[in-house]
Structure 1
Amino acid sequence: MTFPFSTNTLVRDIVNELPKTSDVFKKFRIDFCCGGNIPLSEAITANGINEEAIMEELRVVFEKYSAAETDLEVWTKSDSTTIIDHVINHYHRTSEEELLLLSPYVTKVSRVHGDSHPELLKVHELFYEFKKELMEHMAKEEAVVFPLIKQLADGTVENREEAINMIVELEKEHDHAGEILRQIRSVTSDYTLPLDACGTYRLVYKRLEDLEGLTFMHVHLENNILFPRYF
């Protein structure tokens, strides 16, 4: 099977075609969700990445996963209601649970190790800002915006302009959530653990990084597949 991507391919289109490539973009710190509407070449230049290295990793993922990918229909071919249900069941519920479960660990680590590792105090601040904003964001999506999108899909929406404006507002909220996650990654030096990191410390960094990945896929599915249908 011929490798279908080049440096001229939009980042978001690569992930749309083969979701597993998101792991490569995450590794190279390329924003494929909020900032995915640019050619790969532009992302490579902006991040100072070795073009040959990233293209080789994308080829490896393509050869390994292209034939086995089973969820492409959810990403690109399903109707909006199916996508919305997938977002709610897979991303909203999972994110809510993880935010609630992770909170006491973030608090504990910052309290116990904050004096010797002051970056943890900033992590604590950023995490709780992210938690508050994402919880409110998801609640608004489910109560207001997703029902409007379903009405856009079936042609029954009463005020199309208002509905579009609300989608645009969601995208701005996505941008801000992404910025908070980038700040967490920066202040933790890409989740690099100090030599004296205890088990809870390690747990927090691992789960924060996993939460970042979950959020990026959540935002990608909305920003790059669901929302563009209505602009």
Structure 2
Amino acid sequence: MLDPNRSIADLVSEHAECAAVLRRHRIDFCFGGGRSLARACEEHSVDLDELTHALEHAIRSRGPVPADPRGLSTAALIAHIERTHHAYLRQALPFLDRLAANVARVHGATQGNLREIAAEVALLRLALELRLEREETQLFPALESGRAKDAAAELATVLDEQHVVGAALRRLRDLTCHYEAPQG
């Protein structure tokens, strides 16, 4: 049985399949990840037993477990991040930006917030692309070369900039009513 006092960030770190369950319940495990499972349920008026059951089901149902990135060397972890996550974002962000702009252009007159959504997607793209660049040119080289002071400073900057990304994602969630398609 899952410990209700465990942080939701730790839960998702160990069991990535729990992320989808938490998202369905609109529980933020990234920016609010330090909260316990019990506290998150209380804040979101979610039944703890029901959520625990759904999380345990997701854990039991998972497919093959990928290698735990916490066990990788610094160089291997950086390579994994760049190959998996950065490559995906470099492909997906321009597509999403163009798609949001096109939808706003075609349907913006009848769906008032589509222009706001497109603007927020463009802001998110810019913030994430700047972050990828900073990680690849500043943070990762400092980590790989063992320059702890430089790495700590770059990491602090990246974490500060994360607030821009988080704000854009929260605004998109609000503008889209939790990513629900509009009626009609």
The offset of 1:73, in angstroms, is 2.1
Secondary structure of 2:68 counterpart: helix
Secondary structure of the residue that 1:19 maps to in structure 2?
coil
Within 5 Å, which residues of 2 pair with 1:137-216?
137-152=131-146, 157=147, 160-196=148-184
Residues 143 and 79 of structure 1, relative CA distance in 2, 3 Å threshold: same
Equivalent position to 1:79, from 70, 73, 76: 73
Give a deviation string over 1:147-205, Cα, whole Å, max 9, x none: 112233xxxx2xx3342122122112223212211210111112222244xxxxxxxxx
User: Which structure shows the higher helix fraction?
Assistant: 1
Does the CA-based 8 Å contact 2:124-2:168 persist in structure 1?
yes
- Name the structure 1 match of 2:65: 70
Q: Post-superposition shift, 1:146?
A: 0.8
Measured against aligned partners, the alpha-carbon deviations of 1:60-104 in whole angstroms (never above 9, x if no partner) come to 112212xx4421422x21122211111111111111111112222
CA contact (8 A) 2:138 2:154 kept: no
C-alpha distance in structure 2 between counterparts of 1:81 and 1:150, whole Å: 6
- Give the number of aligned pairs: 184
User: Residues 93-104 of structure 1 correspond to what in structure 2 (within 5 A)?
Assistant: 93-104=87-98
Query: Structure 1 residues 168, 35: closer, same or farther in 2, change over 3 A?
Result: farther
The Cα shift of 1:48 comes to 2.4
User: How many percent identity over aligned positions?
Assistant: 22
3-state SS in 2 of match to 1:89: helix
8 Å CA contact 1:34–1:174 kept in 2: the answer is no
Shift of 1:137: 0.7
Deviations 1:2-40 (A, max 9, x none): x3x211111111112111111111112222223312221
Could you tell me which runs of 5 or more consecutive residues in structure 1 were left unpaired when the two chains were aligned. Answer: 197-231
CA distance 1:16–1:150, change in 2 (3 Å): same
1:217 match: none
Please report the RMSD computed on the Cα atoms of aligned residues, expressed in angstroms: 1.6
Unaligned regions of 5+ residues in structure 2, if any? none
Q: What letter matches 2:65 in structure 1?
A: T
Give yes or no for contact 2:142–2:150 (8 Å, CA) kept in 1: no
User: Which whole-Å CA distance do the structure 2 matches of 1:20 and 1:161 have between them?
Assistant: 35
* Whole-angstrom CA distance in 2 between matches of 1:175 and 1:46: 21
Paired AA for residue 149 in structure 1: L
Q: Is the 8 A contact 1:185 1:191 kept in 2?
A: yes
| Higher RCO, Cα 8 Å, sep 6+ | 1
Structure 1 pair 34/150, CA: closer, same or farther in 2 (3 Å)? farther
Q: Contact (CA 8 Å) 1:18, 1:72: kept in 2 or not?
A: no
